[in-house]
Amino acid sequence: MASGSTERRLNLLYEAGRRLSRSLEPHLLFASLTCLVQEVMPCDGLLVSSYAPADEVIRCEYAWVSGEIHDHTAFPALPLNRDGTGMQSQVILEQKSRLFDVVEKVRKRPEGHYSEITPDGSLESIVERDPVTKSALMCPMLLDGEVAGVVQVMSNAGQAFTQEDLELLEVLVHQLTPALENSRLYSRLRHELETREAAERALAASEGRFKTLLDAMPLITWATDAKTLRSEYLNRHYFEYTGLDPSVGVSGGWELVVHPEDREKGRERVTASFAEGKPWRQEIRLRAADGTFRWHLSRMVPLRDETGAVTKWMGSSTDIHEQKEAEAELERRVFERTQELEAAVRELEGFTYSVSHDLRSPLRAIVSTSVMLQQDFGEELPEPASELLTRQASAAKKMAVLIDDLLRLSRITRQEMLRSTVDLSSMAHEIVQEMQAGDAAVTVEFRITEPLLCEADERLMRLVLANLLSNAAKFSPDGGVVEFAKVGEAFVVRDQGIGFDMKYVDRLFRPFERLVPDAEFPGTGIGLANVRRIIERHHGKVWAEAELQKGAAFYFTLP
């Protein structure tokens, strides 16, 4: 059971017991139940029916629908359907709570066998339409092992209720049944004896049943005085866990069971919550009967009366020791893994240094040697040999570019991010000017929307735009327009070039994945991988859309 659910149930249990045990008239009891149900789940109607086993008849005792209480005496008694076709009959026969899809249930029944309450309080038989009520929870009222009635909660929305709602209703009905019996008992005693003493005995019995229910819970629960925070009640599980004598526990046993390292901090936070009238929540260690300490998640919430004044504090402590140990083990593993990753990063940095230093020199030597041979012996070399030297120099230069791109890709994930306001429009203009100055073959027209601003790392974003804009120009051999703009929350670089088949879109941003021959469109296949890594470091997204021979569009977002 989730801790949030436990806290809500505890608060609900105490509030239900407080309200229901004080409702000595049935109509007040049902009104309190209606308010409690409305507080915890969606609700458009609530019906309470009694069941007489002797004549197998179901009678309406209370009807609240669409915010109005209707005259339940106007509704006819219903016979128990032994075949279980009726929803109330099914719950009575099985003695189990049920969650119903009312529309589905009605559709499976013969016409005219289902009636619903109209806004004016009358009953209308459903024949050729679906009922207004779409979902229902039904819970039997069990008294001494026998069904005494049925409580049903209804909603006009489909699938409005959950299993947790059903469990909460069971808790409320569990409180309602003895409270209703107490109410009837009180009425009889008031008629017969007209003494307050008999009514107080009925209330005490209800309060006793409430404490019995709390004692049965597998967690520590308590109630304290609103003024002094002295314990007024500690459930049985507290004494079983701590091994303390009940008299010692109620008179101040918390100081004996809280771990010494948690006492002062716990006392300060409880005192602050008490002074502000706000809930308290803290993880503390409590001593068990064998002397060991186990972690507990402890909470305390104020209970208020109709005026908003705090009347009592209700608390619980849930054992989370195994969870804390699992968290500690996870932290240990994360630490070890972090150490391993840091060592791997150091090795990678050493490797990239070697690549940068040890491979570039031989490549430069290959290029220079090829050039020298052609210059010194170009006329004497056969044409095939001259072509081989040219290809050798070109391949060495390409490898040098590839090494630079790989180094850039590895540095992207390691260099520190320095976010600032970046004018992407101005940056795009600078990149375009550099491209046009360095390559006269750039024939596309660039259209850049202004202003395009973002919060990002300026150095990394320059690399993103340089890759996207140069790609757009390169893959537009017949010219056209390259546009840099913003669509909604996304930035886009769009061209009118050769495009690509969308079935290969997943390959675009992988290193070395190329969709076109290198001879036609030279490149290393690293640029878009750099783009994706940079955008992901900014916690953004990047994607592409295209059509063959109709251009491509590359989108990215920067949160």
Q: What pLDDT is recorded for position 338?
A: 81
Q: What pLDDT is recorded for position 420?
A: 93
Q: Residue 22 to residues 26, 168, 172, 183, 186: CA-CA distances in angstroms?
A: 11, 20, 15, 9, 11
Q: What pLDDT is recorded for position 553?
A: 96
Instruction: pLDDT tens for the chain, 559 residues: list them.
Output: 344 455 555 565 556 555 555 555 677 778 878 887 888 888 999 999 999 888 899 999 889 888 888 888 888 888 998 887 788 999 999 999 999 998 888 877 655 457 777 766 677 777 677 888 899 999 998 887 889 899 999 999 989 999 988 988 888 888 777 777 766 666 666 666 554 554 455 555 555 555 555 555 567 877 788 877 777 778 887 888 888 877 765 555 577 788 989 888 888 888 888 888 888 888 989 989 899 999 998 888 888 888 888 888 888 888 888 888 888 888 888 888 888 877 776 666 666 656 665 666 676 777 777 777 777 777 777 887 777 777 777 666 666 666 666 666 566 666 678 899 999 999 999 999 988 887 766 789 999 999 999 999 888 898 899 889 988 998 888 889 999 999 999 999 999 999 999 998 888 888 766 666 555 565 556 788 889 988 998 999 999 999 999 999 999 999 8
Residues 456 and 559: their CA atoms lie apart, in Å, by: 9
Q: What is the CA radius of gyration of the chain?
A: 39
Q: What pLDDT is recorded for position 554?
A: 97
Q: What pLDDT is recorded for position 3?
A: 43
β-strand pairing of 419-423 with 78-79: unpaired
Using alpha carbons only, what angle is made at residue 174 by residues 172 and 179, rounded to the nearest 5 degrees?
90
Taking residue 322's Cβ as centre, other Cβ atoms within 10 Å add up to: 10
Instruction: Kindly state the tokens that stand for 255.
Output: 């100081």
CB-based contacts of 165: which residues, under 8 Å, 6+ apart? 40, 41, 99, 137, 153
Q: What pLDDT is recorded for position 112?
A: 47
Q: What pLDDT is recorded for position 412?
A: 61
Q: What pLDDT is recorded for position 410?
A: 61
CB-based contacts of 433: which residues, under 8 Å, 6+ apart? none
CB-based contacts of 397: which residues, under 8 Å, 6+ apart? 363, 367
Nearest residue to 73 (alpha-carbon basis) of 64, 81, 63: 63
Residues 222 and 517: their CA atoms lie apart, in Å, by: 76
In single-letter form, the type of residue at position 430 comes to E
Q: Establish how many alpha carbons lie within 13 A of residue 135's alpha carbon, considering only the half-sphere containing its beta carbon.
A: 16
* Residue 491, helix vs strand vs coil: strand
Instruction: Determine the straight-line distance between the first and last CA of the chain, rounded to whole angstroms.
Output: 37
Helix then strand count (H, E) for the chain reads 16, 21
